[in-house]
Amino acid sequence: MDLKIGVIKGDGIGPEIVAEAMKVLNKVGDTYGHTIEYTQLLMGGASIDVNGTPLTDETVALARASGAVLMGSIGGDAKTSPWYKLEPSKRPEAGLLKIRKELGLFANLRPAVLYDELRGACPLKEEITEGGFDMMIMRELTGGLYFGERRTVEENGVMTAYDSLTYNENEIRRIAKRGFDIAMKRRKKVTSVDKANVLDSSRLWRKVVEEVAAGYPEVALEHMLVDNCAMQLVKDPKQFDVILTENMFGDILSDEASMVTGSIGMLASASLNETKFGLYEPSGGSAPDIAGKGIANPIATILSAAMMLRFSFDLDREAQAIEAAVERALAEGYRTIDIMSEGKKQVGTEEMGDLIARYIG
Ligand code: IPM
Ligand code: MG
């Protein structure tokens, strides 16, 4: 098969972790007879430096022409980087929000799995993690508070800021359907997370999710308030299969879920639209504090590449080969510093990529 992949290395640790994912993809290509054509795309700070803007229309068009996009991370240190002297709509993060919107990437899948091997890195007590956990956070990605109207104005001498949270029933319905479809392939449970005791948008969310649920009689649906969900994630993460939620709640809960798996450096993600196209990125940020040191964990990016093969190219066997190679590297005791524990072998970014590539096929 011929794979056309757009690559956004981005900022901070982005270029380092993407290089390792490409190494692994190339090995998959060699092993299973696929040719891979990469197109480098600029976004975030890297694009600001060259084009003066975090995302150009040309980059969007190139991304659209690819089968999928693999991304590292974008953004820098908000205190020291000149990017943050720009107005908010010109900063690195605006590029990410824009590409999600332009490509209609409304469904964000963030799997959080506790690997047996990484139990030591999990901050929760053993009695809580006994038996492991495996959940999928389905985050709505192109609506809600992050895309609502916003402004900061002075009213009667008082600075006042407005952000608006809007959802229409169609936006809710399409993400809910995706959530139930995924649940059908998993343990058939959906926890829909909202704040229906306060917000109108959440009450509509709940109503539409219930309508969608009627079409999936095999799936058990429960509703959970977001504050309670934040608590349940550390109290009893095993109870979750698919967590279905709106944009901001999903942003927050997915960082929390990643930490209970041991490290945000392990969490892959896929952002999908109505077609096979997707943007695949680690859930973690650009970590400017460790950029260039060769110590970042490339596993989340490598696992994102596996999700890309599965969802955008229907290459299930190849995706599984990557996942098995990651598990083998962990089973053999190799760890980057973020997941290091006593008695294990500490390796850098490149060495971890080499090991995983070696274990393919
Ligand atoms: C994420 C990030 C982004 C988001 C930021 C960088 C805009 O935190 O992908 O979770 O909030 O969506
Ligand atoms: Mg986030």
What would the DSSP string read from start to end of 175-194?
Answer: HHHHHHHHHHTTTSEEEEEE
Catalytic residue status for 32:
no
Q: Which tokens sit at 270? A: 């896929």
Catalytic residue status for 57:
no
pLDDT above 90: residue 88: yes
Q: Which residue is catalytic, options 11, 194, 251, 338?
A: 251
Q: Which residue is catalytic, options 195, 216, 280, 334?
A: 195
Looking up tokens 């944009």 gives 247
Catalytic residue status for 116:
no
Ligand closest to Cα of 93 equals: 1
Q: Which tokens sit at 118? A: 């990484």
Burial of 156 (0-12, 13-18, 19+ CB in 10 A): exposed
Q: How confident is the model at residue 248 (pLDDT cuts 50, 70, 90)?
A: very high
| Residue 301 CA from chain centroid, whole number | 9
pLDDT above 90: residue 11: yes
Q: How far apart are CA 59 and CA 96, in angstroms?
A: 12
Nearest-CA neighbor of 284 among 215, 361, 206, 336?
336
Q: What is the DSSP string of 221-259?
A: EEEEEHHHHHHHHHH-GGG-SEEEE-HHHHHHHHHHHHH
What pLDDT sits at residue 259? 86
Q: What is the DSSP string of 14-54?
A: HHHHHHHHHHHHHHHHHHHT-EEEEEEE--THHHHHHHSSS
- Ligand 1 centroid to Cα of residue 251, in Å, is 6
- Ligand 1 centroid to Cα of residue 360, in Å, is 31
**Residue 16 CB–ligand 1 contact under 6 Å:** no
- Ligand 2 centroid to Cα of residue 96, in Å, is 11
Q: Which residue is catalytic, options 57, 227, 314, 316?
A: 227
Packing angle of the helix pair 349-358, 316-331 (nearest 10 deg): 120
**Residue 171 CB–ligand 1 contact under 6 Å:** no
Q: What percent of the chain has pLDDT over 90?
A: 92
**Residue 11 CB–ligand 1 contact under 6 Å:** no
- Average pLDDT of the chain is 96
Catalytic residue status for 177:
no
Report which protein residue has its CA nearest ligand 1's atom 9: 283
Please state, in angstroms and as integers, the Cα–Cα distance from residue 64 to each residue in 47, 211, 228, 325, following that order: 17, 33, 39, 30
Confirm whether pTM is higher than 0.85: yes
pLDDT above 90: residue 10: yes
**Residue 96 CB–ligand 1 contact under 6 Å:** yes
User: With contact defined as beta carbons under 8 Å apart, do 191 and 222 qualify?
Assistant: yes
User: What is the per-residue pLDDT across 277-306, written as a single tens digit (0 to 9) for each?
Assistant: 999 999 888 999 999 999 999 999 999 999
Ligand closest to Cα of 73 equals: 1
Catalytic residue status for 194:
no
**Residue 246 CB–ligand 1 contact under 6 Å:** no
